[in-house]
Amino acid sequence: MLEKINALLAETEHFFAKTKDELEEFRIKMLSKKGEISNLFVEFKNVPNELKKEVGQTLNVLKNKAQEKIEHLRIALENDEVQADLDLSLTSYPSNLGTRHPLSHMRNEIIEVFTRLGFVISEGPEIEDDWHVFSALNFPAEHPARDMQDTFFIEKNPDIMLRTHTSSVQVRVMDNQKPPIRTISPGRVFRNEAISARAHCIFHQIEGLYIDKDVSFADLKQTLLYFAKEIFGAETKIRLRPSYFPFTEPSAEMDISCSLCGGKGCNVCKHTGWLEILGCGMVDPNVLESNGIDSKVYTGFAFGMGIERMTMLKYGIKDLRRFFENDVRFLKQF
């Protein structure tokens, strides 16, 4: 019996299968219920006691070797099959590339215009304290913008909040840099407002700040005119209307001639021929002083605009909520 087992061991060792059928044939011969190994186990009870140990061990070795060999060849044959199916000349699967979000397009375009003028990008945190959002920007204690209506507070006393505008980044830049300062700060801002076609509780702004000796309102106007022409076309006109912001004096709101009707009057500009796009002004001396900049030596201008609004005007989008719905049919158009 031992001879028989050793012969089968040698056969197993040398066995090789070129096809699955050959392998299956071998498996049936060796391991099936009526196969060689099962038969040997049946015969095993006739083996004399003194040989039982040796024969039993060898028989187990044979069984394991046969199982190992079959498994090994099965995997090898399967891999060959996969490789035979692989056509390396085929093009790869069409990968579904995303597109840049329209707000990112607009932000990048705005940044590009200002970097050409020497502005550098700065960023600040979305969670801010009262100093950076309000106090350092000359907001009187009773100013309505501090009201719970507008601001999402995270903690009260001391107040921690989600920033309501990117003007907070101005403060951080003035903290860390000495004039001349020429920076733009894009970022997300948050206001406790009802969501509608025209307003959202989350939106994006870009802030601009320029501080140096002898910066004048004329510099502000020229910078913004250049910007408006670059974004909305060379024929674009701007007008500045007096306005109020605590952190600028004088302050203004800037309109551009309606990019859709060219100023003749249409639904979008409500037949005025003008579209309001940003707030701006000369940095209030109180703000410079609060941030350690000598207001007798330096002057500056600042401006802030909503990226959603700019994108809506540029592409004629009527509902601001589209930007946040992530509907690819909308997003793919940009």
Where on the chain is the footprint of ligand PHE (CB under 6 A)? 165, 167, 207, 245, 248, 279-281, 302-304
- In 177-319, which ranges are continuous DSSP H helix? 217-232, 285-290, 307-315
CB-nearer residue toward ligand PHE: 6 or 222:
222
List b or e across 140-167, with b for residues whose CB sees 16 or more CB atoms inside 10 angstroms. Answer: eeeeebbeeeebeeeeeeebebbbbbbb
Provide, rounded to whole angstroms, the least separation between the CB of residue 185 and ligand PHE.
10
Q: Give whole-number Cα distances, 46 to 6, 55, 124, 179, 204, in Å.
A: 18, 11, 87, 102, 88
- Report in angstroms the alpha-carbon separations of 313 from 53, 98, 232, 238, 327: 91, 24, 9, 15, 20
Q: How far is the CB of 285 from ligand PHE (least distance, A)?
A: 14
- Peptide bond before 285: cis, by omega within 30 degrees of 0? no
The DSSP code for 166 is: T
Closest distance to ligand PHE from the beta carbon of 168 (Å)? 9
The residue among 73 and 283 lying less far from ligand PHE, judged by its C-beta, is: 283
Residue 227 vs 245, nearer CB to ligand PHE: 245
Nearest distance from residue 245's CB to ligand PHE, in Å?
4
Shortest distance in whole angstroms from residue 279 CB to ligand PHE: 3
Nearer to ligand PHE by Cβ, of 79 and 196: the residue is 196
User: Among residues 66 and 240, whose Cβ is nearest to ligand PHE?
Assistant: 240
- Smallest gap from Cβ 334 to ligand PHE, in A, equals 25
With residues binned 3-state (H G I as helix, E B as strand, rest as coil), the percentages for the chain, rounded to 5, are 45, 20, 35
- 31, containing H or E segment: helix 20-31
Residue 40 or residue 287: which is nearer to ligand PHE going by CB?
287
Give the Å distances, CA to CA, from 229 to 110, 234, 235.
11, 5, 7
